[in-house]
Structure 1
Amino acid sequence: MKNKEKIRLTAAEMSTLWTQYINDTVSICVNSHFLEKVKDEEVRPVIEFALNTSKENIKILQDLFTNENFPVPIGFTEQDVNPSAPRLFSDTFVLMYLRNMSILAMAASGMALGVITRPDVVTFHKNVLQSSVSLQDQTRELMLKQGTYIRPPYISLPDQVDFVDKQPFLFGFIGEKRPLTSIEITHVFINIQTNAIGKALITGFGQIAQNKEVKQFLLRGKQIAQKHVDIFSKILKEEDLPAPMQWDTAITDTTVPIFSDKLIMFHISAMIAAGVGNYGAAMGASPRKDLGLKYASLIPEIALYAEDGANIMIKHSWLEEPPQTDDRNSLIKGE
């Protein structure tokens, strides 16, 4: 077959393209509101870049889906956002939010490039990755300039190269605990920061949500996020290391609806999924047993929270189904 772009889409390619489309429709809704309400003229170009990137991705994906006779997902539309509503978050928080979104996008693009093969799909995801890296650079540089970038803790340089020669390196329950490694510190720091951002986002969304069930769900998420921030902050403080700040003060007092409850639930569910992935990665990178078990004990709590969120979305017909394989048994039975 000479034209490799005529090869059928694999399940991996379908999933990455479908997911990218849904995420970009969310990004357009959220960043449209941010752009409408931004006050800091240094932040404005960063929001415009993120918004325009998502719009360009949507155009490419719509053409690709049409050429493949693939039903174009609905995702989220103008009905899911009120750009002219009062601002909900400060420009400082918006910048931190975009930085966090760029990190998630880089991870998703990297995963996609590891499982896709069709040249046009590879090119698309490479462009998405490049845009994500650019957004990360823009947010980092501006936050450093404005003095709002929160660096991970500093530790002393090692005096020499050492190898682990004692089994207690893995212990963490009985006797004296060894100090945290730089790798363990990094993961603890990341999980404090993502939970703090998640808590601020959930708090703001809770103020503007309309459905009582959604409000209760978000209130519970706020409590879980704070609990996890406290747990991880305690780990750093016990090592005489600073914990990153939280973002509660970055939220205004508006209760005017800005985003639909459907968009709010999807966005929070996506962040929960990312959080589970972060905990799994941290657990695998933390040899000290007490840390590994701490992550393992927290994963079921957020997994159950995610399941409850999915049930709310299903109840209200907000959960759009991703592509699925054929149910061969039903086909055989003629159902």
Structure 2
Amino acid sequence: MEDKTKIRLTAAEMSSLWTQYINDTVSICVLSYFMNNIDDKKVKEIVEFALGASQKNISLLKEIFNREDFPYPIGFTKKDVNVHAPRLFSDTFIMMYLRHMSILGMAANTVAIGLGTRPDVINFHKSVLKSAIGLQDLTRETMLEQGTYIRPPFISVPDKVDFVEKQKFLSGVKSRRRALTSVEITHLFLNIQTNQIGKALIMGFLQVAQDKEVKGYLQRGKKIAQKHVDLFSDILKNNDIPAPMFWDSAVTDSTTQVFSDKLILFHVSAMIAAGIGNYGAAMAASPRKDIGLKYASLIPEIALYAEDGANIMIKNSWLEEPPMADDRDQLSGLT
């Protein structure tokens, strides 16, 4: 019987494995630091669970890479974190951060499973997905117990099944705007929360970053995140829907370096990439024209911000190149 693990990795499999490796090295750095700065015993147990999952992922990935003679990505190491630095984030923020990371992990590995072919690769991503679901459950249950979990808004249950009969459903003109759909509310709520988490994280990073150019970049990101929070919150408030709270108080006044500027920029870039995906999904799911156009106008802004971050990383030789297709013109001596 054919050994299916000896089939070559597809581009999709190579991409998902390489990306997972890089992301887990970031997680190990961040979570190792968190472990030394937690007061709540329950929160510490959850961080320990997440850290163990990332370390296990790295071990499994190395096994796959070894079978393929695939060079390990460098990613991030102990040199990129000062685990003994003073506390920068509150326990409550750490829980919110972990919950958000678990959502990203569930999404990425679901896609990877759908595109996977080899059994060993699929089984790996199933394992990562299981851990991400476990982390989501642990953070949700603990935050509900502690009273720190922020639920999405409530709306009335519909009286009956209905169908759209007028073009007003699509209109975004103020005099003809309809009420928000549950799907639109969901995306607005999610994008407010992710921007709030992003802003709080950037605030912390801004206090401990070393390079002046990186600090300027983070300051700009902080303003963009707040602007987007305000825009989405206004849409909810104008439709008498409550907007989720802010997380500014989750950051302490510490200025001791915790993470390398390289790790900081990578982490921010990864969050921007996720944000662009969220905005695209929200735009597609928002029939009301004014909301769809709002998302469409914001995507270029954060895409340009992401590009500027990539340029800083390239300038400093911090951007690790992902697996690339063969350049046939170069191999042919044409370039």
Per the TM superposition, whether the score is higher than 0.5 is yes
Percent of residue pairs bearing the same amino acid type: 69
Deviation of residue 234 (structure 1)? 0.2
Quote the residue 1:296 is aligned against: 296
Whether 1:286 and 2:286 are equivalent positions in the alignment is yes
What amino acid is aligned across from residue 207 of structure 2 in structure 1?
Q
Whether 1:224 and 2:224 are equivalent positions in the alignment is yes
TM-score scaled to structure 1, two decimals? 0.99
1:115-134 aligned at under 5 Å gives the runs: 115-134=115-134
1:45-194 aligned at under 5 Å gives the runs: 45-194=45-194
* Contact 2:86/2:254 (<8 A) preserved: yes
C-alpha distance in structure 2 between counterparts of 1:50 and 1:237, whole Å? 36
- How many equivalent residue pairs? 335
Which segments of structure 1 move beyond 2 Å, counting only runs of 4 or more?
Answer: none
What amino acid is aligned across from residue 286 of structure 1 in structure 2?
S
Secondary structure at the counterpart of residue 36 of structure 2: helix
What amino acid is aligned across from residue 167 of structure 1 in structure 2?
Q
* Contact 2:168/2:176 (<8 A) preserved: no
Quote the residue 2:195 is aligned against: 195
Could you list the runs of 5+ residues in structure 1 that have no partner in the other structure? none
C-alpha distance in structure 1 between counterparts of 2:160 and 2:104, whole Å? 35
How large is the Cα RMSD of the aligned pairs? 0.8
Quote the residue 2:256 is aligned against: 256
Cα deviation code 1:145-183 (max 9, x no counterpart):
000000011111101100001111000125221000000
C-alpha distance in structure 1 between counterparts of 2:253 and 2:152, whole Å? 30
C-alpha distance in structure 1 between counterparts of 2:139 and 2:80, whole Å? 26
Cα deviation code 1:163-210 (max 9, x no counterpart):
001111000125221000000000000000000000000000000000
1:9-20 aligned at under 5 Å gives the runs: 9-20=9-20
Deviation of residue 42 (structure 1)? 1.2
- Summarize the Cα distance change of 1:28–1:167 in structure 2 as closer, same or farther, 3 Å threshold: same
Deviates more, 1:145-154 or 1:61-70: 61-70
C-alpha distance in structure 1 between counterparts of 2:236 and 2:334, whole Å? 59
Quote the residue 2:26 is aligned against: 26
What amino acid is aligned across from residue 133 of structure 1 in structure 2?
I
C-alpha distance in structure 2 between counterparts of 1:173 and 1:79, whole Å? 54
Quote the residue 1:308 is aligned against: 308
C-alpha distance in structure 2 between counterparts of 1:123 and 1:111, whole Å? 13
C-alpha distance in structure 2 between counterparts of 1:237 and 1:272, whole Å? 25
Could you list the runs of 5+ residues in structure 2 that have no partner in the other structure? none
Deviation of residue 334 (structure 1)? 6.7
* Contact 2:5/2:120 (<8 A) preserved: yes
Cα deviation code 1:259-292 (max 9, x no counterpart):
0000000000000000000000000000000000
What amino acid is aligned across from residue 331 of structure 1 in structure 2?
L
C-alpha distance in structure 2 between counterparts of 1:70 and 1:179, whole Å? 53
What amino acid is aligned across from residue 66 of structure 1 in structure 2?
N
- Summarize the Cα distance change of 1:164–1:5 in structure 2 as closer, same or farther, 3 Å threshold: same
Quote the residue 1:276 is aligned against: 276
TM-score scaled to structure 2, two decimals? 0.99
C-alpha distance in structure 2 between counterparts of 1:144 and 1:215, whole Å? 35
Secondary structure at the counterpart of residue 42 of structure 1: helix
